Structure 1
Amino acid sequence: MEKAKVYFTDMRAYPGLNLQQKLEKLIRRAGIEKIDFEDKFAAIKIHFGEPGNLSYLRPNFAKTVADVVKSLGGKPFLTDCNTLYVGRRKNALDHMDAAYENGFSPFSTGCHVIIADGLKGTDEVEVPVDGGEYVKNAKIGRAVMDADIFISLAHFKGHESTGFGGAIKNIGMGCGSRAGKMEMHCGGKPDVDKALCRSCHMCERNCAHGAISFDQEKRAQIDHEKCVGCGRCIGACNFDAIANQNYHANDELNCKMAEYAKAVVDGRPAFYINIVNQVSPNCDCHPENDVAIIPDVGMFASFDPVALDVACADACNHMPILPHSQLYDNLHKDGACDHHDHFCNSAPETNWKTCVEHGEKIGLGTRDYELITIR
C-alpha cells in the first residue's frame, strides 16, 4: 500500500488570513472537492462537548466545513450519537440543548443538528464489519448511515481509555448507538442501582426480552439470562438507576472502535479532519477540561483516517510538554516511567497504537503517510 497523503497547516494566523480561511484552504487542497456533493446529504460528525467542558471545537470550525460542503452543492448536517454514560447528552433533547448551549446551532454553523440515533439512542442500523474480528455487525446511528457522504471533524486530544481521541474514535465510538457503545465499552450486562430506582417501570416497558422484573420493594432487577445487552433500559431510565460497570480492557476497546469506524465509512465517500488544539488529557465527554498537555499543533486533513491519526500523534509527540499539566505531573512523580510518548505518559494504562495497528490490519487505512504542509 502506498503512503497516504496527510495535509497540515499550523495555527498561525497573520493579518488578512484567519484560521477559518486556513481550514478552508487546507481541506480544499487535501481534495474534498473530488467528492461529488451535488444534492447529497453530508453527515459532519462532531463532538458537541459536554457542558462545563471548554476544550471542545469551536462551532466556527464546523461552519467552515459546512460552508464548503454547501458551496459544492451538498446538504450538510452536524451529527453525533447519544452517550452511554450519565450526562447532558444521554437523550436527543438534552443532547441538542447541550449542542445549542455550546454554540452549535443552525444560526452559528449554517446547518442543522441531528442526533443520529434518535430520542433515546435506540434508532440504529446494523452494519456488517468487513474483516471484523471482534464485531460482526456494528450498531450505528441511523442518520449517520442514511447520509450519502461522511465527514469526520474531530478535536484531537488525550483520552483516559484510548490514549487519544482523533478521527477513529470520533467515527467508531461517536457513531455507535447506545447498544453499539455497550458493545465497544462493556462486557456483561447492565445492573440496577436500587437506591436510585423510582419504580416507574419505564425500563420494563422498553425491554423487548422480558428481562426486567420488580422485587418485593418494587425495585427493578435484571435477569442476565434473558438480557441481551442492548442498553435500551439505560436510555429509558430517567433517574440514571441502570448502568454497566463491566468495562473491557483498553486494547480490546481500541480494536472494536476501529471496526466500528470501518463499518461507518465503508462503501461511500468519506473525508477526515483533525483539529489539534487545546490538547486536554481527557475526553470532551468530561463536564470539565484540564489544562492542555502540549501547545497547539495545527489542523490536519486526509482521505485516510489511520494515517491522519498517526500523523497527529507523531506531531504531538514532537511538541514540548506544558508545565503543571497532567502529563508534566505524571513525569515528575516519584518512580515515574517515561514511555517516550506523550499520550501514554499522560494516561499510562493506555496504548493508542493498538487502535491504528488494528485499523490498518482490517483495511481501514495505512499507518504510512506523507505529510504535506500548506502555508
Structure 2
Amino acid sequence: MIKLYNLVNEEIYGKVAIKLHTGEPHGPNILPRDMVQALQKTIPNSTIVETNTLYGGGRENTADHRKTLEINGWSFCPVDIMDEHGDVNLPVRDGFHLKEVAMGKGIVDYDSMLVLTHFKGHAMGGFGGSMKNIAIGCASGQVGKRQVHGASMTGAPNFGAMPVKDTFMELMADSAQAVINHFGKHITFINVLRNMSVDCDCAGTSAQKPTMKNIGILASNDLLAIDQASCDLVFAAPDGKDVIERIQSRHGLRQLSAMAEKKMGNPQYELIVVK
C-alpha cells in the first residue's frame, strides 16, 4: 500500500487528512490497523479524519465515537472527528439535487486528503468505494448526512422513508463533488479490496461474512476510475456473486454513471500491475 501511495501522492502536501471508515465497535472487516499505521507513519503531518453518524450506534456522538475509536485500535495517531465543533457548507456545482452540503467543519483545516477506503458492499449504496467514503463520510452527522440521504431535517431519521436507488446515488455524487472540488488536485484515492462483505463496515458485528477472496489494492488520482476499476474487478471475479447481487439490487452502478455525467473523473482507465 505504501508503494502504491507513493505513485499517486505527488499533489499531496501540507496538513493531510486521511479519510478512513474506522467502523462500528469490533467491526470484523475493517482495514487492519497495522496496515494503516504503517502507511500513516510515512505521511508527514497526517491525521485520520471521520465524522459522526446519522444512525444510532457507537459513533452517533463524539463521546461514543471516541470510545469506539479506542475499541477498534485507532489510537496510534490523531483522529479528528471533523463535525465535533460544527459544520461548514461546501458548494455543489450543477448538482443533481443539492446546491451545498454540510461537511464536518474540520475539513477546511486540511490542505490535502488521502481517501483510504475499504471497498465492500453497502446496504443502500450497493457498494462502498471512494465516492461513498467522502460523500457520506465527510458529511456532518446530523445535517450533512441528512442531506445526502434525502432525509427530513428534523426529528429522528426514518431510513425506511429515505430515497433509494438512483436518487440516493445522485445525492452521494453531489456530496462527493463538493469534496473533490474543495481539494482540487490535492486529493488521491486508495481502495483496498479485501474482506468484502455485502455489508458496509457501519454494520459492525452484524455484517455478513465475506464470500469472495481478496483481490488487492488499487490507487488512483481519479475518483471515478478507481471505483469503476474496483467494480470491474468484482464483476470479473468468479466468486463475486453475492457482492454483485448487492450492487445490482440497489442500482449501485448509478454511482459510476452519475460521476461520469458530472465529469467527476474518467471511466476509461489502464490497470497497471505493481509488484
Please report the TM-score for the alignment, with normalisation by the length of structure 1: 0.69
How much is the aligned-residue C-alpha RMSD, in angstroms? 1.7
Q: Aligned residue for 1:25?
A: 3
Deviations 1:69-128 (A, max 9, x none): 12xxxx11001111000100001111121111101113xxxx201101116xxx111111
Separation in 2 of the partners of 1:179 and 1:83?
A: 10
1:36–1:45 CA distance, 2 compared to 1 (3 A) = closer
What SS does the corresponding residue of 1:286 show, helix, strand or coil? helix
Aligned partner (choices 78, 81, 85) of residue 51 of structure 2: 81
- Counterparts in 2 of 1:241-256, with a 5 A limit? 242-245=156-159, 246-256=161-171
Deviations 1:213-256 (A, max 9, x none): xxxxxxxxxxxxxxxx1x5x6xxxxxxxx333421122111111
Shift of 1:36: 5.0
Q: Are the counterparts in 1 of residues 122 and 198 from structure 2 also a CA contact under 8 Å?
A: yes
Q: Aligned residue for 2:138?
A: 175
Aligned partner (choices 250, 258, 267) of residue 358 of structure 1: 258
Unaligned 5+ segments in structure 1 are 1-22, 190-228, 234-241, 328-341
Identity of aligned residues (%): 30
1:305 aligns with 2:219: no
Q: Aligned residue for 1:57?
A: 31
Aligned amino acid, residue 252 of structure 2: W
- Counterparts in 2 of 1:1-375, with a 5 A limit? 23-29=1-7, 31-32=8-9, 34-35=10-11, 37=13, 40-70=14-44, 75-106=45-76, 111-118=77-84, 123-177=86-140, 178-187=142-151, 189=152, 229=153, 242-245=156-159, 246-268=161-183, 269-288=186-205, 289-321=207-239, 327=242, 342-343=243-244, 345-346=245-246, 349-375=249-275
What SS does the corresponding residue of 1:372 show, helix, strand or coil? coil
Shift of 1:175: 0.6
Aligned amino acid, residue 28 of structure 1: N
Q: Are the counterparts in 2 of residues 295 and 320 from structure 1 also a CA contact under 8 Å?
A: no
Separation in 1 of the partners of 2:34 and 2:237?
A: 25
Shift of 1:347: 5.5
Shift of 1:146: 2.1
What SS does the corresponding residue of 1:150 show, helix, strand or coil? strand
Separation in 2 of the partners of 1:144 and 1:36?
A: 15
Separation in 2 of the partners of 1:65 and 1:359?
A: 28
Q: Which structure has the larger Rg over C-alpha atoms?
A: 1
Separation in 1 of the partners of 2:12 and 2:18?
A: 15
Aligned amino acid, residue 70 of structure 2: Y
What SS does the corresponding residue of 2:172 show, helix, strand or coil? helix
Q: Are the counterparts in 2 of residues 310 and 356 from structure 1 also a CA contact under 8 Å?
A: yes
Separation in 1 of the partners of 2:157 and 2:46?
A: 34
Q: Are the counterparts in 2 of residues 69 and 76 from structure 1 also a CA contact under 8 Å?
A: yes
Shift of 1:44: 0.4
Q: Are the counterparts in 2 of residues 150 and 265 from structure 1 also a CA contact under 8 Å?
A: no
Aligned amino acid, residue 286 of structure 1: A
List structure 1 segments (4+ residues) > 4 angstroms apart after TM superposition: none
Separation in 1 of the partners of 2:4 and 2:124?
A: 30
Matched length: 270
Separation in 2 of the partners of 1:361 and 1:160?
A: 24
Shift of 1:267: 4.2
Q: Which moved more, 1:346-355 or 1:158-167?
A: 346-355
Deviations 1:253-299 (A, max 9, x none): 11111111111121420010010000011111012221113110000
Deviations 1:125-155 (A, max 9, x none): 1111122121101111111232110110000
Separation in 2 of the partners of 1:316 and 1:24?
A: 23
Unaligned 5+ segments in structure 2 are none
Aligned amino acid, residue 111 of structure 2: D
Deviations 1:351-375 (A, max 9, x none): 1221111112112111111111101
1:61–1:305 CA distance, 2 compared to 1 (3 A) = farther
Deviations 1:319-365 (A, max 9, x none): 2227xxx82xxxxxxxxxxxxxx42x135531122111111211211
Q: Are the counterparts in 2 of residues 280 and 291 from structure 1 also a CA contact under 8 Å?
A: yes
Q: Are the counterparts in 2 of residues 251 and 354 from structure 1 also a CA contact under 8 Å?
A: yes
Q: Are the counterparts in 2 of residues 262 and 364 from structure 1 also a CA contact under 8 Å?
A: yes
Separation in 1 of the partners of 2:145 and 2:79?
A: 21
1:292–1:24 CA distance, 2 compared to 1 (3 A) = same
Please report the TM-score for the alignment, with normalisation by the length of structure 2: 0.93
